[in-house]
Copies of this chain bind each other. A is one copy, B any other.
Amino acid sequence: MYHMVHGGDQVPKRAATDLDGLTASCLAAFVRSGTLDVSLDELARDVGISKRMLVHYFGGREAIEERAVLLLENRLRAQFAPENFPPRITLQKVVNALWDRTTAPESKGVLLLVMDVTRRAWNGSPRAQAFYQEQQRLWVELLMRYLPAKNAVEDVLQSFQGAVLAYLITGNPEPGRRMLNRLCAALESRQKLHKKKKRLHSRG
């Protein structure tokens, strides 16, 4: 009886824990490589386990990627949760902070990995597109706290992405920062104007 019940329980605690740990190791390997395009052999070598066991635990390559991307998604969600940012500062300051995090050397791997997923998205992968949308949502949610105008925020995001691209290729974060600062300044001054106009309007 016991063993039958146990047989039905496909995910005993220890296995689950191990799987999570393995997933973390795999994600770390992907980050080190800056891409998901790592062969099972290389991945296995990187995480110190046999390819045999990788396939055994995850069931196949796709599952490894899926779990790793999911984990990445969760980590990014935690990192860019609005609670982690001071409330009453300017848009420019937040964007600058985000830019610093993004272009910090230790973020290079994650950045490359995210861009790799982005590439899969523009090549049509539904999973990668979902990832992109979720990141978009996250950042919009975050930035809306500092500039409550969805269109403007989405503009900033597009520009941000372009800046990331240029940074990755040239290695120089300054043009991107400059551009973002100017853009934010312009948007904020426009915001003030609008507010003024509205006030006048409601008074008149």
A interface residues (Cβ-Cβ under 8 A, vs B): 34-35, 112, 115, 118-119, 121-123, 129, 132, 151, 154-155, 157-166, 168-169, 175-176, 178-179, 182-183, 186, 190
Contacts and interface: CB of A to CB of B under 8 A. Distances in A.
- Interface centre among A35, A119, A157, A176, by most chain B C-beta atoms within 10 angstroms, is A119
B165 A179 contact: no
A16 B178 CA distance: 47
A102 B176 CA distance: 22
Secondary structure class of chain A's binding surface, majority of residues: helix
A166 B16 CA distance: 37
Kindly report how many copies of this chain are found in the complex they form together: 2
B169 A132 contact: yes
A105 to B, nearest CB: 15
A163 B168 contact: no
A180 B190 CA distance: 16
A169 B115 contact: no
A155 B169 contact: no
Given A118-B169, A122-B168, A132-B169, A179 B162 contact: no
Nearest to A136: B166
Contacts of A175: 154-155, 158
Contacts of A158: 159, 162-163, 165-166, 175-176, 179
A191 to B, nearest CB: 13
Pairs A-B, 8 closest by C-beta atoms: A162-B162, A161-B162, A122-B168, A155-B179, A158-B162, A159-B159, A121-B169, A122-B169
Contacts of A178: 151, 155
A137 to B, nearest CB: 13
A7 to B, nearest CB: 44
